[in-house]
Structure 1
Amino acid sequence: MIVIRFVIDGEPRGKGRPRFTKSGHAFTDQKTRDYEKLIGYCYKAQGGKMLEGDIDISIKAFYKIAKNDNKNIKAAKRAGEIKPTKKPDIDNVIKAILDGLNEVAYKDDAQVVNVSASKYYSDEPRVEVIVSRI
């Protein structure tokens, strides 16, 4: 089994909604394209390589704790007693990660057979990803 771990620093982002031209063609917005490029860059820069076969992905999204939260709320968030129920939705975070790794970690995201994802609070916002070839 091959296991590759990498981190994307900064606030987690989700896949943006598709935009449409006047002629009806769909396209991905620039912010989403930039984030997907960052995901691929982080994967390669932290030792990632192209994998073949069945792929398993684990995602942990860490959201920034608000500065104006009181100390009890901050402590509960750090301990994982309070989890983020804010945007972006976890399914959109998953989609951004999978699309960002497409043609970088695997030829096509159809190779991904298992995904687990969760949201947490942290003083250091980031996304931790584990890519495994089963």
Structure 2
Amino acid sequence: MEVKFTILGEPKGKGRPRFCRNTGHAITPKDTVNYETLVKTEYGLKYPDFRFPDGTMLDMRIKAFYSIPQSASKKKKAAMLAGEIRPTKKPDMDNVVKIIADSLNQIAYRDDTQIVDCQCRKFYSEHPRVEVIIKSIKPETAEGSMK
């Protein structure tokens, strides 16, 4: 089984929690909460009744498309759109993976520990978005996987 969905808008990364001095409780940044809600909503609209079975090994592929800076020259913009220049800016790709994977806990799968293979790629586009593909994978031997 494979699911594909898109989150429109600028890619976001998982924000670091802030800690309340008085109580010691962690407070998740509002931007993170809002984006996690958007991810859940987009998944739910496309796959309202589908969740991968517990224990299924999953492969997650993420393509994050960032806005082209307005200051980019025509030549640089063309190179960005062709993939010759790719984003080396925040959010870091590990934080993009984290916000997507955490958002889908108990929605697309029981827990993101089921993700055993993952790829995140960053590109520029005139239409910022994040494209997500999650698929179940068959077991393979550790020795055979790197050949």
1:85 aligned to 2:84?
Answer: no
Q: What count of residue pairs does the alignment treat as equivalent?
A: 133
When Rg is computed on C-alpha atoms for both structures, the one with the higher figure is: 2
Which segments of 5 or more consecutive residues in structure 1 lack a partner in the other structure?
none
Q: CA–CA distance in 2 between the matches of 1:34 and 1:51?
A: 24
**Local SS of the residue matching 1:39:** helix
Output the amino acid matched with 2:95.
N
1:29 aligned to 2:29?
Answer: yes
Output the amino acid matched with 2:47.
G
Name the residue aligned to 2:69: 66
**Local SS of the residue matching 1:45:** helix
Which segments of 5 or more consecutive residues in structure 2 lack a partner in the other structure?
138-147
Q: CA–CA distance in 1 between the matches of 2:33 and 2:57?
A: 25
1:55 aligned to 2:58?
Answer: yes
For normalisation by structure 1, the TM-score amounts to 0.95
Return 112-121 or 40-49, whichever deviates more: 40-49
Name the residue aligned to 1:116: 119
**In percent, how many aligned pairs have the same letter?**
50
For normalisation by structure 2, the TM-score amounts to 0.87
Output the amino acid matched with 2:52.
L
Cα deviations by residue, 1:36-79 (Å, 9 ceiling, x for unpaired): 11101101112362112111100000000112211000000000
**Local SS of the residue matching 1:69:** coil
Name the residue aligned to 1:17: 16
**Local SS of the residue matching 2:10:** coil
Cα deviations by residue, 1:10-55 (Å, 9 ceiling, x for unpaired): 0000000111011322231121011111101101112362112111
Q: CA–CA distance in 2 between the matches of 1:28 and 1:66?
A: 29
4+ residue runs of structure 1 moved beyond 3 angstroms? Answer: none
Shift of 1:86: 0.5
Q: CA–CA distance in 2 between the matches of 1:43 and 1:92?
A: 19
Name the residue aligned to 2:142: none
